[in-house]
Every structure is written in C-alpha cells, then in structure tokens.
A = this chain, B = another copy of it.
Amino acid sequence: MTFDPARRNTLQKIALAAGGLLLAPGFATAAQADPPRKLGVALVGLGNYSKLQLAPALLETSHCYLAGLVTGTPEKAKTWAAQYNIPAKNVYNYQNFDTIRDNPDIDIVYVVLPNFMHAEYTIRAAQAGKHVICEKPLAMNVAEGERMVAACRKAGVTFGVGYRLYYQPHHLEARRLVKEQAFGPLKFIESSFGFTRPAPTSWRLDKQIGGGAIMDLGVYAIQGARRTVGQDPVAVTAQAFTFDKEHFKGIHETVLWQFEFPGGIVSTSTTSYSAFVDRLYASCQWGWFEVNPAYNAQVTKGRTSKEEMSFTTKKYQQIDQLDDFALAVRNKTQPAATGEEGLKDIRLVEAILRAAETGNKIKLDLVAASR
C-alpha cells in the first residue's frame, strides 16, 4: 500500500473546515503539523501526461499533492475528482480558471496543456498569484518564453519547467562523473533523441500547435548535453532535413546540431521523427560513459569504459521534480529546473533552426540573453 497524501490532505481540510469537529484522535491540526503542510498543486490539462505520470507521481511526493484540477471536460473533472478526492471548489474550467487566485488550497499551477497554450496559462496563473510549473517545451518561441518569465517575475511567483530529466538518477550521475572528472576532462558528448513516424493525425506533425521533432524531442537532447556538461554552449551549427514533404508538412523530419562549449568541449545531437535515436554518450580524456536509452524511459542501467552502471529509480520520474519545486516555493529558493532554464532551451531551438537555415555558425550568449 502506498501512503496517499492527497487523501490525507483532503481529510485534513475537511477537518479544519469543520472546526476540528471531525478530527480523529491523534490527528494533528495544520498549526501543530510537523512536517509542514504539503503544497497544493493544480494540474491544468488532464491529458495522458497528467493522467499517467503527474497525478500518480503526486501521490508519492513528500512536499506537495494533487489539490486541484483545471479541465474543459466536465466528465474528466468528475472522474478525477472522485479518484483523487478533490473537492468541487478546487475544480476549474478554462472559463473560471482565473478565480483560482482566491483559492488558498492551490499553491502551484502545473500547466500540462498543448504547447501553444503554455504561454497563456502560465501568464494567467502567475497573474493569479500562483507559482507555476510549465511543461516542456516551455514556449512556442523565445518571445513567448520571455513574456512568461517576465509575468512570473512581476507577480513574484516561482517559475519552473517540467524537466524530469534534471532529477533522474542517470542524468545526475552523468553530471557527477563530469564534475568530478572521474575520467578526466570532458571532451565530447553525443545527446540524441528521436523516434519514428508519428501518425498523420498527431499533434506532433502540426507546427501551429507546437509540433515538430526539435520542439518535442530535441529539447531533451539539448538539456541532456547542457546538464552533463554543466555549462551552456557558446556556438552552434546545424542541419535540418525534410525528405518526405507529404508526411512532414512544415516541420523538419530530422535536425542535427553541434554545440561548442567553453573549455574545448564539443557535442553532437540528432532529433528526428523518422529515426529512433535515444542516447547520451560522453567521452572524457581517459574514459567514457553511456546511457542508451537515455530520454524515453525509466533508465536503470548504463555503462562506462570501466564498468556497468545501475540506477535506482523512483516509480515516477517526476516525483523529485515536483518535490524540488515545492521545496523551492516553501524555502523561497529556486528549483533546479527553472522557467529560465526552459527558456534557454527555446533560445537554443531557435538558434539551431537559424543555423540550419542560414548554414552559419551562430555564436551564443545565453547568460546575456536572459539578463
């Protein structure tokens, strides 16, 4: 049996609302509670990622729980509310969403909508005074991302991006191996993610709503390289290909790019909707390590030039991501996966596409860009 924090919190709230009348003996009130109360998360958009990953993860988190729902589908609202013991007052639709500002149960709004709706709902959540996590890719473009970051700053709320990768054991181990120079200085990274041939009806093929391999999958490959290196790239070259123009209308079929990082580190990446690629490989001066697959799965093993690696993963890869964000809110610090980090990757997507289009090497200054 898994401890159910959603149920616990709901029961607590009912108890408190009733002035303690329903309080069972030995059940602490919020004022006496130790540890402090879990922060309430509202999921905006109840698609598969919410259903299969985030909601179940929020049953396992230590510092936050599923407290609210935002959906345009009344039937979904009903099913979910019953399943997760969400009181009716914490269930919103897209019309009354902004009144979430008046709901003290909701500390954090998690935007899990189609990509083209990320900016609007992130900004509305910030304006409602809620801390916001937005799923990846952060935005449709840099301009949107900048508006999102600005809105969160202005509202004084914490802004995070839904990057499970930042918290997965194999990526943390990759960072450690590089940082501690376990195999000497890092020289080369391959970081690639692609899969083959979304159905013609898939949103992935529709650029207008945020489709395209580089936005969908490429951002993982970019993150993986940046996180492993522990620095941001300073230059990029890229190549983009669309051979099957019938199937891939207005989006690239395959995009390759090469980053140059400070200190003589080079990376190469591929993203594709017509090829399977899913690998993080790093060669240092005296050895290498690899995780393959790296991005699309619970990763429990890898290897180095010396030995096999194994990783202990949690049931849901988003648990640590959610808890890190909740702790950052509580402690008034920043999560590892900030919205600014998400925006960096959108800047890189745009730079990659510009490099591919022009054939030019593009110099990057992500720190200056985000000032």
Contact = CB atoms under 8 A, between A and B. Distances in A.
Secondary structure at the A interface, as helix, strand, loop or mixed, is strand
A17 to B, nearest CB: 54
B275 A283 contact: yes
A370 interface: no
A268 B256 contact: yes
Interface string A240-265: 01011000000001101010100110
What number of copies of this chain does the assembly contain?
2
Contacts of A316: none
A296 to B, nearest CB: 13
Interface stretch (A36-44, A99-107, A285-293, A345-353): A285-293
Contacts of A188: 194, 254, 270, 272, 274-275, 277
Interface residues of A, number: 38
Q: Which has the most chain B C-beta neighbours within 10 Å: A187, A243, A264?
A: A187
A287 B275 CA distance: 8
A243 B265 CA distance: 9
A241 B264 contact: yes
A305 interface: yes
A194 B190 CA distance: 13
Contact of A266 (B187, B190, B254): B254
A188 B268 CA distance: 14
29 contacts: A187-B274, A187-B275, A188-B194, A188-B254, A188-B272, A190-B192, A190-B270, A190-B277, A194-B283, A237-B237, A237-B239, A239-B258, A239-B361, A241-B260, A241-B264, A243-B263, A244-B264, A253-B264, A254-B266, A256-B258, A274-B285, A275-B283, A275-B288, A276-B283, A276-B287, A276-B288, A277-B283, A359-B359, A359-B360
Interface of A: 187-188, 190, 192, 194, 196-197, 237, 239, 241, 243-244, 253-254, 256, 258, 260, 263-264, 266, 268, 270, 272, 274-277, 281, 283-288, 305, 359-361
Given A188-B274, A188-B277, A237-B359, 5 more contacts: A187-B274, A243-B264, A274-B285, A277-B281, A359-B359
